[in-house]
Structure 1
Amino acid sequence: MRKHILYKAYILILCTVVFTSCDRNDDENFPPPEYNSPEIELTDNSAELGAGQLINISASINASVALTSLRVTEGNSVIDQINYDGARGTDTYSFLFQIPTDWLGTTRDINFLITDRLNQTDTATFSVTVSEIIPQYTIEDVTIEGQTYKEINGIINFNETLTNDNLYLLDGEVSVGQSTTLTIEPGTTIYGKDASSRLDVREFGMIVADGTAEDPIVFTSFNTAPGQSGNPAHGDWSGIQINGSGQGDNSGVIKYVRIEYGGSNDDTFQIQNVGDQTVIEYVQVFKSLDNAFRVNEGNVNIRYIIATDCEDAGIRFDDMWNGHGQFWVVNSISTSNAIEGRDESNTILSNITITGVGFNDSSQGPAGNGFRIRNNAKARIYNSVVTGVDRSIRFSDGSEAFTTTGENIFSNSASFSNDEDSGTGFHSSADLFNPTDGDYDPTFNNSIASFQIENSYVGTSTVNSREAGPLSSFFENVNYIGAVPADNDWTLGWTRNIDGNIRE
């Protein structure tokens, strides 16, 4: 027994010696780890710009250990500095900087220094040559059929004002450049010369088109101009696009503006990544070939808009738009969806009126659709009415899952005289909101009873409405279903009826 214990002790000592020896050899063969230095890479390394313009670049930063700081300098001046919390090893940094006027005539190096917690660094340099801004556009007098126009082409890169004592003609795509404001006086008319004509407000550009009900600003087909055919049609020209810089962006003002006969190559009024400091109110899109309104990304809030007799969707929102909407009208959409939400957008809407061709033309039955929320989009809809369409509301392609979570809602609203489901128009994906269905939840307080609507969309109901104000600070605190009360017809004087006459 004693020999056995001694033998086990001997083996234990031997193993300890062997493993200790192995650990010592491991330390010699495997030195402490080395960490790579951080790396910073710019999307651009140089540019030639004018004083007052914007440097707009991004930096991709990667590090094998945590970052501590990013420092941006020009000469001895610190332009920006970020102190990291020590937990981040990668970052994307956006650099937006307005070039000072005293840099004119010089070349400046802007240096980006990244440091990690081991005090390892990397640098990148952006070189900017600052010169006089050369006009990239022209506004020239042209005479066509005895009528003089101011023809605009190119990229507007100086502040400009279009006055109401001239007629303007867009020749091809006309852009408003960064750090530039295009102002349009009330009562001004701008013609799209042909299918390629479009006004594009670029990122960090601004438009101030602030019309009035008495003197709206009009963008229209050249076929309506003096001496022209007088026979405008859907898609005679392209339209307007505003490109913002994201949430909180201010791209200007679009107010009391009528946009007619657009949609040749894209949506007639496209609102791309525009923020909630931008004002978009009192806008009509009339007879568009493509979508009338298209809102992508951003969080701009939109109210008092109307899409009339358009051949695609009336109002479409995509790409995670999360603004709000109130007082929207879509009338006489025959083959598409009046309002369509897609791609993880998340919105609240109130006081919407949708009247389809079945309502506006007694010779036709219900056609087109009302609301279609799809592709994981979410919409909480209140105080709205849908009539004269095929389906009044449908959720699909992932969005139907949110009807039971409270993220998709159709409430305090009315749906009647449609084609589907005995005139109610509710799709099976919206049974929870359908007063005639066994799965209906009466807390949504919807109605399938008709109420009086005249002149395509004028008329409201208070039978089952709710106050809109508590929905968010954006909403006007009205308490009725529909967009246009008979005693407050906000479309008078500046919009067109379906027949093309100005509403009076």
Structure 2
Amino acid sequence: MRRYLGFFLATFGLSALTGWALPPQQQPEGLERGVTLPGVSWVQAAEISAGATSLTPPEDVQAYPIVLLETNYYTFEPGQRLQLRVSLYPNGWVWPVTLYLYRQDRTTGAKEYYSLRTGSFQSQPRDLFGSESEPMAVYLPALEDFVLFGSASDGSDNGFGLDGALGPSFTAPSSPGLFQFVMEVRDAEGRRVLAKSNAMYSFVTQTVEVSGAITTNTTWQASKAYRLRDFVAVRNATLTIEPGTVIYGGDARATLFITRGARIIADGTAMRPIIFTSPNRVGRRAQRDWGSLVVLGNAPINEPGGQAYLEGLPSQPDYAFGGNDPHDSSGVLRYVRLEFGGFEIEANQEINGLTLAGVGDGTVIDYVQVLYNKDDGVEFFGGTVNAKHLLLVAAADDGVDTDLGYQGKIQWVVILDSPINDEPDSNVGFESDNHPQNFDLTPRTRYQIYNVTAVAPPVSAGGKGLYGARIRRGAAGSYHNIIITGSQFAPVTVESTQSQNLAGTELIFDNSILYGNFADAAFKSGANPALTRKFLFEDMKFNRNVDPQLKLGAWSASKLLYPNLEPLANSPALDANFVQTPPDDGFFDTNVSCIGGVCPGDNWVLSGWAVFSDN
């Protein structure tokens, strides 16, 4: 016999708490009183046979719980108040689970587990309701922005405006450190993690205001927070940012420019990513809260004269890019998050989540997340820079935009579109142009990209993304192992005579799952539906228009809070006969077992470095 905790709600202490009652078919018999959860009038436990079929999920279950854990800010100076809230969605999961809540030192890895029985954090592993020796399984409730630790007296500007169900706010100490809270939803035995969310935070000694130009080698330390004011340019110097450092955009124009000849060394880790984010409290953040990060280099572009200026900005040295060094290095961006940016420079000209303009392949780009940016996720203006592990969530325009002769390599990309402030002319996955006026300029936009998953919400849910991939204006390229699903129009369109003439030679798009409508009506005026269909499904031999069958399942807003993009066991993305092995050239990972941006056994999206808060 095992104990299973069923939640029953008579009255709520907090209005955010909903849906605790068990489904009628799962009401246990022989209830006995169990532990009490603050904020809930009473909680009861039941003795139920561990072998009961209604308590054991089938082997082919496709629904998994969703969890999101959030602190009110990312950094706290001495004396400031830290709060914690959680959102939980069963997402069709009706079997018992165990819940584990712990805080962890992100430097040493040490953990302390919270127990309702003791009302404290302890080093011995234990679940939220049970004991060290026996976890107590519960039926998962539906919670939205449920405050676990908080004090209403902190005020709504500093906190979530409610008292916490588990206790008051924490007060930041004087000593700095990097930490995180983690909530794990495990199976009834407490062995297998079904869903997990971590909320990273830092205790810092001060917040440093940064403005103007950085002209000498400078290091930003993780023991401090930094706040950008207006445009900040790094000129002929190296800016080094320690792992775990948090940088706030202090105003709408706040943008960091790494100019030609300068370098940024932002080399974070999975446990200590470097975070650029909105200055506002969690729950009040949005696109355009600040600018973002712009990197300008000396690699070739196809603009006549070999140099251009960033669109929407004056023709000044700080905004110039392009040169003749394909191996130019602008530094390192590894485990970097760029959140809630997209300042509008002028009408319809916003700053991208990450702008890479004329950047050379001596630059390292790996594990970069863009979250809720008002323009593209990443835009490559020419250059030769390579990139891996790009996680682009809810960009208002295109996921990956390439133009001006971009010739780099990209692998492992996940693009998740959202209806929140989405632009009506956006494309879910890619927009690729050679040059906006002269479609035959060289070097031609012709990059190689492998292993991408691009998912958009349906029109019925507010989706506005036009095409999955829009290739035009003389752009070419090599696309392999791509999943595109959910686009409003056709998953792929090849437009303009110059690009269409390259289809099958300099333009390859194969070994992909392109799930959507390819009928004539699914193309806008100026497209060539017949040519696109022939290119993708006759000239190319390994494309399929089939459901990719991902663990994400049917799109919903809550699933963006914990997006599992792995293919299901029976997914066509796992058919090795259709998977293309990338070139063994020193950049690409060649051990590829699936089509798409996430393969079984390596869910880099949900490994803990990224965040999925929508405000």
The counterpart of 2:513, out of the listed 402, 414, 417, is 414
State how 1:127-206 maps to structure 2 within 5 Å: 148-178=206-236, 180-206=237-263
* 1:483 matches 2:597: yes
* 1:348 matches 2:405: no
* 1:310 matches 2:310: no
Deviations 1:108-157 (Å, cap 9, x if unpaired)? Answer: xxxxxxxxxxxxxxxxxxxxxxxxxxxxxxxxxxxxxx994100111111
Q: Which residue of 1 aligns with 2:311?
A: none
Equivalent pair of 1:392/1:427 in contact (CA under 8 Å): no
* 1:214 matches 2:326: no
How far the C-alpha of 1:462 sits from its partner, in A, is 2.7
Query: Which structure 2 segments of 5+ residues have no match?
Result: 1-203, 300-325, 345-350, 435-443, 553-562, 568-572
The residue type equivalent to 2:356 in the other structure is: I
Distance in 1 between residues matched to 2:551 and 2:521, nearest whole Å: 19
Between Structure 1 and Structure 2, which shows a larger proportion of strand residues? Answer: 1
State how 1:45-60 maps to structure 2 within 5 Å: none
Q: TM-score normalised to the size of structure 2? A: 0.53
Q: Which residue of 1 aligns with 2:417?
A: 332
Q: Secondary structure at the match of 1:325?
A: strand
Taking structure 1 as reference, are residues 449 and 273 closer, same or farther at Cα in structure 2, changes over 3 Å only? Answer: same
The residue type equivalent to 2:240 in the other structure is: T
Taking structure 1 as reference, are residues 365 and 174 closer, same or farther at Cα in structure 2, changes over 3 Å only? Answer: closer
The residue type equivalent to 2:290 in the other structure is: W
Q: Which residue of 2 aligns with 1:231?
A: 284
State how 1:241-390 maps to structure 2 within 5 Å: 241-246=294-299, 247-265=326-344, 266-332=351-417, 334=422, 335=424, 336-337=426-427, 338-343=429-434, 344-358=444-458, 363-364=461-462, 367-390=465-488
Q: Which residue of 1 aligns with 2:574?
A: 462
Distance in 2 between residues matched to 1:175 and 1:236, nearest whole Å: 19
Equivalent pair of 1:290/1:311 in contact (CA under 8 Å): yes
Distance in 2 between residues matched to 1:241 and 1:147, nearest whole Å: 28
Query: Which structure 1 segments of 5+ residues have no match?
Result: 1-145
Taking structure 1 as reference, are residues 457 and 400 closer, same or farther at Cα in structure 2, changes over 3 Å only? Answer: farther
Q: Which residue of 1 aligns with 2:542?
A: 445
Q: Secondary structure at the match of 1:209?
A: strand
Q: Which residue of 2 aligns with 1:401?
A: 500
How far the C-alpha of 1:479 sits from its partner, in A, is 3.7
Which contiguous aligned blocks of 4+ residues in structure 1 show a shift greater than 6 angstroms? 422-426
Deviations 1:248-291 (Å, cap 9, x if unpaired)? Answer: 00110000001001111322211011111100010011001111
Equivalent pair of 1:433/1:446 in contact (CA under 8 Å): no
Q: Which residue of 2 aligns with 1:76?
A: none
Deviations 1:57-116 (Å, cap 9, x if unpaired)? Answer: xxxxxxxxxxxxxxxxxxxxxxxxxxxxxxxxxxxxxxxxxxxxxxxxxxxxxxxxxxxx
The residue type equivalent to 2:480 in the other structure is: Y
Equivalent pair of 2:473/2:499 in contact (CA under 8 Å): no
Q: TM-score normalised to the size of structure 1? A: 0.64
Distance in 1 between residues matched to 2:395 and 2:327, nearest whole Å: 30
Distance in 2 between residues matched to 1:345 and 1:236, nearest whole Å: 32
Q: Secondary structure at the match of 2:229?
A: strand
Equivalent pair of 1:367/1:419 in contact (CA under 8 Å): no
Q: How many residues align?
A: 342
Deviations 1:42-64 (Å, cap 9, x if unpaired)? Answer: xxxxxxxxxxxxxxxxxxxxxxx
Distance in 2 between residues matched to 1:287 and 1:152, nearest whole Å: 24
How far the C-alpha of 1:367 sits from its partner, in A, is 4.2
Distance in 1 between residues matched to 2:463 and 2:249, nearest whole Å: 34
How far the C-alpha of 1:230 sits from its partner, in A, is 4.2
Distance in 1 between residues matched to 2:609 and 2:233, nearest whole Å: 26
* 1:474 matches 2:581: no
Q: Secondary structure at the match of 1:282?
A: strand
The residue type equivalent to 1:389 in the other structure is: S
Equivalent pair of 1:239/1:269 in contact (CA under 8 Å): yes
Equivalent pair of 2:566/2:603 in contact (CA under 8 Å): no
Q: Which residue of 1 aligns with 2:16?
A: none
Equivalent pair of 1:411/1:433 in contact (CA under 8 Å): no
Distance in 1 between residues matched to 2:450 and 2:330, nearest whole Å: 24
Taking structure 1 as reference, are residues 427 and 479 closer, same or farther at Cα in structure 2, changes over 3 Å only? Answer: farther
The residue type equivalent to 1:383 in the other structure is: N
Distance in 2 between residues matched to 1:274 and 1:199, nearest whole Å: 16
Q: Which residue of 2 aligns with 1:126?
A: none
Q: Which residue of 1 aligns with 2:611?
A: 496
Taking structure 1 as reference, are residues 206 and 305 closer, same or farther at Cα in structure 2, changes over 3 Å only? Answer: same
Distance in 2 between residues matched to 1:315 and 1:304, nearest whole Å: 13
How far the C-alpha of 1:329 sits from its partner, in A, is 1.3
Distance in 1 between residues matched to 2:357 and 2:491, nearest whole Å: 27
Deviations 1:165-206 (Å, cap 9, x if unpaired)? Answer: 11110011111111x110111111000011110000011100
Distance in 2 between residues matched to 1:487 and 1:362, nearest whole Å: 33
Q: Secondary structure at the match of 2:256?
A: strand
Deviations 1:298-318 (Å, cap 9, x if unpaired)? Answer: 100111001111111111111
Distance in 2 between residues matched to 1:248 and 1:195, nearest whole Å: 33
Q: Greater shift after overlay, 420-429 or 295-304?
A: 420-429
RCO higher in structure (CA 8 A, sep ≥6): 2
The residue type equivalent to 2:565 in the other structure is: V
Distance in 1 between residues matched to 2:340 and 2:467, nearest whole Å: 22
Equivalent pair of 2:294/2:356 in contact (CA under 8 Å): yes
Q: Secondary structure at the match of 1:431?
A: helix
How far the C-alpha of 1:423 sits from its partner, in A, is 11
Q: Greater shift after overlay, 152-161 or 483-492?
A: 483-492
Equivalent pair of 1:160/1:182 in contact (CA under 8 Å): yes
